[in-house]
Chain A
């Protein structure tokens, strides 16, 4: 006898209880604290803040803990919280030339004002697992040079002195900076909206697309003009005050990619730019973003659009991992009503097919007799 399945509510409650159990794991192992995640899984925090578009380490840590370390789930949690926050205003553009630099490397010059500064990088570490780490070894205090207060000018400005690189893109005088979290996207996008979308885009997706441009799918002859990581000040204009108010500091990673450009009817041969900027320390993401940004400028620079990375609607419509994961995973929701409709169609088409074959067979036999 058939009894219809009931009790969705109880099933959901039980599933969530089991999830909470698995999240906590073995109770004899001490529970993680948020400050441990903030301090020791800092790059995971940075990714969640960057793709979650919310600069808050503690909330990112909470999200990582709640998501059992599933970073896309954590990004989703942060986004869903962010969207409920009131909007007080928009800060002034950050000034990365005034950054308190922790790391700065350029691939286009051997040395340059301010010097190359390796900073806290995995580069040149030998990727050998270090069993020592399991025993919480003493860690030496790092060497730090005194900040001499000298501004570290950006490589793009050095090139600009010679007129060898295009100027920073100029938006029309009356252009109001877009906000992709408040307005639906309308293609083609202005570059400000496109950069916002890239900055919160999925690291893996942008990495793969950036990589594809290096392998010939939209080749752009890139050089890392500069990657810099460090803290910048956030300033807000308040109408009542004659000076901007400092809100605090955030850490960002900026990449200026310098790309060869042979020139076109409109512009002389010169270097062009691809730009990447993300919250926290994430060189991979900032570099991939700058490759994608440059590839997506193909139309603007009069280049042929032939590769996926150059196709704005394709790249931007599919770069958001919260959207992507939701829609891919929604396939596990029940679809049995539509499946029933398809079942019915396939059955009918099969029976018609068989009938046709039988008639053909009979006709052939009759013809043969």
Chain B
């Protein structure tokens, strides 16, 4: 070996080499031009495991520049360990400014949520996608599902959803709920709860999806129709929570259930930590907010 192992660690800006970035950039442009279509790309091994956001990281690395402000969330939270780890990665390899505030970010990389704060023009939301193929669990073969997309043959998906209704009285899909993009491609929105599906429709932000292990990139341009699949007699509906956030009192947001003790005590708080903190900073209070309760016992 000619190079000693200690001389290794010289990486390009944003980690990826320029040839890889060009390849990903070409795929992104094709994805934008064909909304909802999964563009195959030569996904690289990344320094984090497959299934941990390698697709999203590659997309972010291909678009990010020194002027960007990056926000990374996992489960809606900026402080979950994998979000912390990915954010630290970009701070290290791209020396980029980071934020937890949705409104201040130019690029938001996410796993499993869309922020509650409405996105704006000029923002890009990058989703980490584990299984990009919405038909995969109905038909495991890529050769078959590719044909189905080519022929716009989505009957199988409707049969599956209808079987749900016959068996459970409702569509029993609560996350990764399939959508149709601009009336053509059926697309997997990544495993976000279906609560977030309506936010994808006619969003002013550009939405990019990266699946590293499965080697696919797809996109929803801004102001694009994204419709959740449903039936006339069983229209699509999102989750509703019976109570507001226990910390900030927010309603019509997605809540996490937090277990308080081993006797069934629990509370519901905002899954979007930035949204919750911003509201609290503005003086909003929930019924279990530290300010309202007596000082700790």
Inter-chain contact B75/A58, CB cutoff 8 Å: no
Does the CB pair A334–B80 fall under 8 Å? yes
The segment from B117-125, B153-161, B249-257 that touches chain A is B249-257
Return B15 CB to nearest CB of chain A, in Å: 8
- Expressed in whole angstroms, the minimum distance between the Cβ of B276 and any Cβ of chain A is 8
B50 pairs with A323, CB closer than 8 A: yes
Query: In the complex the two chains form, what is the Cα distance from A62 to B44 in whole Å?
Result: 21
Among B41-66, those with CB < 8 Å from A are: 41-47, 49-52, 54
Q: Could you say which of B5, B51, B83, B170 contacts A62, with CB atoms under 8 Å apart?
A: B5
Binding site for B on A (CB under 8 A): 1-9, 11-12, 34, 56-59, 62, 76, 79-84, 86, 181-188, 313, 317, 322-323, 325-330, 333-338, 340-345, 349, 352
Specify which of B8, B75, B84, B85 is in contact with A336 (CB 8 Å cutoff). Answer: B75
Structural contact, A323 and B80, CB atoms closer than 8 A: no
List the interface of chain B (C-beta within 8 A of A): 1, 5, 8, 11-12, 15, 17, 40-47, 49-52, 54, 74-76, 79-85, 88, 111-113, 130, 141-143, 168-170, 172, 174-176, 191-195, 213, 215-216, 239, 246-247, 254-258, 260, 267, 269, 271, 273, 288, 290, 293, 296
Contact: A11 with B81, CB < 8 Å? yes
Q: Complex formed: what's the CA distance from A210 to B174 in Å?
A: 40
Contact, CB under 8 Å: A341 / B51: no
Please give, as numbers and ranges, the residues of chain A lying within 8 Å of B193 by CB-CB distance: 337-338, 340-341
Given contacts A2-B267, A327-B51, A338-B112, contact A187 B143 (CB under 8 A): yes
Of A62, A80, A345, which contacts B174 at CB under 8 A?
A345
Question: How many angstroms from the CA of A289 to the CA of B51 in the assembled complex?
Answer: 26
Instruction: Say yes or no: A1 contacts B255, CB within 8 Å.
Output: no
Say which residue of B5, B11, B12, B43 sits within 8 Å of A59 (CB atoms): B5
**CB-CB < 8 A to A3: which residues of B?**
290
Say yes or no: B42 contacts A183, CB within 8 Å: yes
* The one of A185, A313, A335, A344 that contacts B112, using a Cβ cutoff of 8 Å: A335
Interface contact A313-B79, CB-CB below 8 Å:
no
Query: What residues on A are CB-neighbors of B142 within 8 Å?
Result: 187, 313, 317
CA distance A340 to B241 in the complex (A): 11
15 A-B pairs (CB sep. < 8 Å):
A57-B1, A80-B45, A80-B46, A80-B47, A81-B8, A84-B15, A182-B42, A183-B42, A313-B142, A322-B50, A327-B213, A329-B51, A330-B51, A334-B80, A337-B256
User: Could you tell me the distance between the alpha carbons of A7 and B76 in the complex, rounded to whole angstroms?
Assistant: 16
Residues in A with CB closer than 8 Å to B76 are 337
- Which residue of the partner chain, among A86, A313, A325, contacts B141 with CB atoms under 8 Å? A313
**Shortest Cβ distance from B78 into A: residue:** A8
| Residues B143 and A313 in contact, CB atoms below 8 Å apart | yes
Q: What is the distance, in angstroms, from A298's C-beta to the closest C-beta of chain B?
A: 16
- Using CB atoms, name the residue of chain A closest to B52: A330
In the bound complex, residues from chain B placing their C-beta under 8 Å from that of A326 are 49-52, 54, 213
In the bound assembly, the distance between CA atoms of A341 and B112 in angstroms comes to: 12
- CB pair A8 B84 closer than 8 Å: yes
- In chain B, what residue has the closest Cβ to A3? B290
Contact indicator A82/B175 (Cβ below 8 Å): no
A-B contact count (CB 8 A): 151
Residue of A11, A57, A345 contacting most chain B CB atoms (<10 Å): A345
CB distance from B288 to the nearest CB of A (A): 6
Also in contact, A9 and B174, with CB within 8 A (given A340-B256, A344-B239, A352-B169): no
Contact of A333 among B47, B74, B168 (CB under 8 A): B74
C-alpha spacing A9/B169, complex, angstroms: 44
Give the distance in Å from the alpha carbon of A343 to the alpha carbon of B268 in the complex. Answer: 13
B28 to chain A, nearest CB (A): 15
> For the complex, what is the distance from the CA of A62 to the CA of B290, rounded to whole Å?
50
How far is the CB of A181 from the nearest CB of chain B, in Å?
8
Min distance, Cβ A88 to any Cβ of chain B, angstroms: 13
- Choose among A11, A12, A84 the residue that contacts B17 (Cβ–Cβ < 8 A): A84
With A322-B45, A330-B51 as given contacts, are A341 and B239 in contact (CB-CB < 8 Å)?
yes
Residue of A80, A181, A340 with highest tally of chain B CB at under 10 A: A340
Bound Cα distance A76, B247 (Å): 42
Q: How far is the CA of A80 from the CA of B193 in the complex (A)?
A: 32
Please, how many angstroms separate the alpha-carbon atoms of A4 and B195 in the complex?
23
Query: A92–B112 Cα gap in the complex (Å)?
Result: 46
Residues of B within 8 A of A317 (CB): 142
- Sort A-B residue pairs by CB-CB distance and give the 4 closest, nearest first: A326-B50, A330-B51, A326-B49, A341-B174
Partner of A337, one of B40, B112, B215, B216: B112
A9 lies within 8 A of B88 (CB): yes
Chain B residues near A344 (CB, 8 Å)?
Answer: 174, 239
Q: Is the CB–CB distance between A186 and B40 below 8 Å?
A: yes
Check if A333 sits within 8 Å of B45, measured CB to CB.
Answer: no
Within the assembled complex, what's the spacing in Å between the Cα atoms of A4 and B15? 33
CA distance A4 to B81 in the complex (A): 14
B79/A6 in contact, CB under 8 A: yes
- Given the complex, which residues of B lie within 8 Å of A341, measured CB to CB? 174-175, 193-195, 239
Quote the shortest CB–CB distance from B239 to chain A (angstroms).
6
Contact of B79 among A8, A181, A338 (CB under 8 A): A8
Contacts of B290 in A (CB 8 A): 1, 3
Other A-B contacts than A184-B215, A341-B194, A344-B239, 6 sampled, CB-CB below 8 A, are A3-B290, A83-B46, A185-B215, A338-B176, A338-B193, A349-B172
B81 to chain A, nearest CB (A): 5
